[in-house]
Each structure stands twice: as structure tokens, then as C-alpha cells.
Amino acid sequence: MNRKYGLISLIAGLVLVLGVGAVFVFSQGSSEVKGNGEVEEMSPQAMKKFMKEDGTGFIIYSFDEENRDTYLYSVKKAMETHEVEGKEIYSKDPRYDKSKDQHYYGVAQDPDTLAVYKDGDLKKQISFEEYEPSQLEDELDHFIGTSKEMYFSE
């Protein structure tokens, strides 16, 4: 009876090890920024924690309240095309301490920009205000596509 339980435990252990190993192997070749175009609005403290612990991906730093929805729509559309997701920190969030700048929350980019970070380091950014709304979607599409290829491909 003891041998039977020992054998069952051994088989269960092997299945567990193989399962974990398979997940590890298959996750090694995947992009770190996959997604479906969603943008997660994060509290300033959550952004600070994310940037400290991971800091990899596309980050929007929203400042202009009047144009925020337009900018987010354009970013989401481009992200959906490239199957990535992003995170947003919004300077008008009531939890955003106005006496501190964006660096306090872990982001180094300018306001009203989309930036790409790798391990907490700002790689490059694109300003929403530099482009007419009709051009912005194309520019964001190009920015996300080249950033994904440059920083997150195998």
C-alpha cells in the first residue's frame, strides 16, 4: 500500500515538474508586451510599483484633459493592430501628488506622450501634440511597430 502511494506521489511530482517546465520553455520565446490593445489606467502608486518591479512596456503619460480621450483612442487602435497593451498614468488623478513630478512615479517621459520602457529605462517616446489628429494614428502605428521589433523581438 505504501509503494502504491509512493508511486502516485512520484508520478504527480513528475507531471508537475513537466508542466512548469513546459510553461517556462514556451514563455521564453514570447514578447513581453503582448496584448489586445487595452490600456490600463494605473493609480500613481501602482505605476510607481510597476516601474520599480518590472518597468517594461508601453506607457502613456496623460496630462491634457481636453484631448485625453482622442489620444487614448489613437493609441488603443495602434496597440490593437500590433497586439500589445499599455499602461497609463494620468496627472489629473486625485491621487497624483502635484508637488512631485513624474519621475517620482517611475516615468521619465514628457507629458502627453507614449513611451516604451525596458526594465525601467526609457527607450524612446512620441509626443501626441507634435501631430495633427489625422497623422497621429499613422505615427503611433509606426512607433509601436518599430519599438516592438527593436526592443521586444527575440
For the stretch 19-36, pLDDT in tens is: 544 444 343 333 467 888
The pair phi, psi for residue 54, each rounded to 5°, is: -130, -70
pLDDT value of residue 28:
39
Please state the rounded mean pLDDT for residues 87-113: 95
pLDDT value of residue 60:
98
Q: What burial letters (b/e) apply to 70-81, b meaning 16+ CB within 10 Å?
A: ebbebbbebbee
Residue 154 has pLDDT above 80, yes or no: no
Q: What is the mean pLDDT of the chain?
A: 86
pLDDT value of residue 23:
40
